Structure 1
Amino acid sequence: MIGYLTQALHHEMSAVQHYLTQSSLCELWGMSAEAASFRNEANEELVHANRLIQRMLILGVAPNATQLAPVRPGRTLAEMLVLDRQLELDAVRLYHDAAAYCARFGDGESAHLFEALMHDEESHLGELDSMLAALS
């Protein structure tokens, strides 16, 4: 369970860095609404990271997200959204596997946390699909 919690924290902190970078790029491009949207996503990922950190502390583990993925922001809004979709899809897969593992080994609280995070990420996937469809 600790391994999944650590992996999830790495992912969430990488996502924060990713979305903040995209927000900054959009600001530079004069796309203030999109910049605000990416900033909101970064904040949501921070909330997820905080929930993971709290769970780790409850389990007696010091959080340590040192393996951040390289930022791949994209060169256009459409490319950004495609990359974001992959990032969120990776999170859904991770949280699905983590929830199943935790449930199998009797850690219902961690399983519940991963399920809640998975549903948040699935919701964001739906939003990204709508945004990509609107750009087509």
Structure 2
Amino acid sequence: MRIDPRVAGFLSQALSHEMSVVQQYLTQASLCDCWGLGEQCAYFRREAGEELEHAGQIIRHMLLLGLAPNATRLAPVRPGRDLAEMLALDRQLELEAVRLYDDALRYSQRGRDGASSQLFAALLADEQHHLAELDRLLAELAEKEKHHG
């Protein structure tokens, strides 16, 4: 089977992105743990687990295509100095993921690559959900700050 090099590139980018986000969320979970923010620590650990599942789905797809998975371009961790900054930085990462998966989905649909399209569509939906959750958390935090600040 001939693998479209652009789809292979999207998959590589996706794996690097997901592993970067896992690293980011685990760092933030540890910071929240150090700060005594148990609920937020648990949130970031859950998110890291979801992103790790995404990485696993990408790896499986790459293996099925005969590609060697290799996340070579991990982004530097930017944990943030407080919860609001953490969530804002994570929102940027989720926006990047939405753009990446949207582009990858459109390209794989044009190339009639059903399996890759299905994977990218599922990842896109998950990342859009994460983005909405971050928007909700940021709005809640802003509301709390308004009443306590």
TM-score by length of structure 2 reads 0.90
Q: Which residue pairs with 1:53 in the alignment? A: 59
Q: Residues 89-108 of structure 1, C-alpha deviation per residue, up to 9 Å, x if partnerless?
A: 10000000000111111111
Q: Give the secondary structure class of the aligned counterpart of 2:41.
A: helix
The equivalent residue for 1:10 is 16
1:79 aligns with 2:81: no
Distance in 1, Cα, partners of 2:38 & 2:140: 18
Identify which of 112, 116, 121 aligns with 2:118.
112
- Bigger Rg, structure 1 or 2: 2
- Once the two structures are superposed, the pairs formed by residues 1-136 of structure 1 within 5 Å of their partners are 1-136=7-142
Runs of 5+ in structure 1 lacking a partner? none
Q: Provide the rounded CA distance (Å) in 2 between the counterparts of 1:23 and 1:135.
A: 17
Pairwise CA distance, 1:87: 0.4
For residue 67 of structure 1, report the CA deviation from its aligned partner. 1.1
**Which consecutive residues of structure 2, in runs of 5 or more, have no partner in the other structure?**
1-6, 143-149
**Distance in structure 1 (CA, Å) of the matches to 2:32 and 2:64:** 38
Q: Displacement of 1:66 after TM fit?
A: 1.7
How many matched pairs?
A: 136
How far off is 1:15 after superposition?
0.4
Q: Calculate the TM-score normalised by the size of structure 1.
A: 0.99
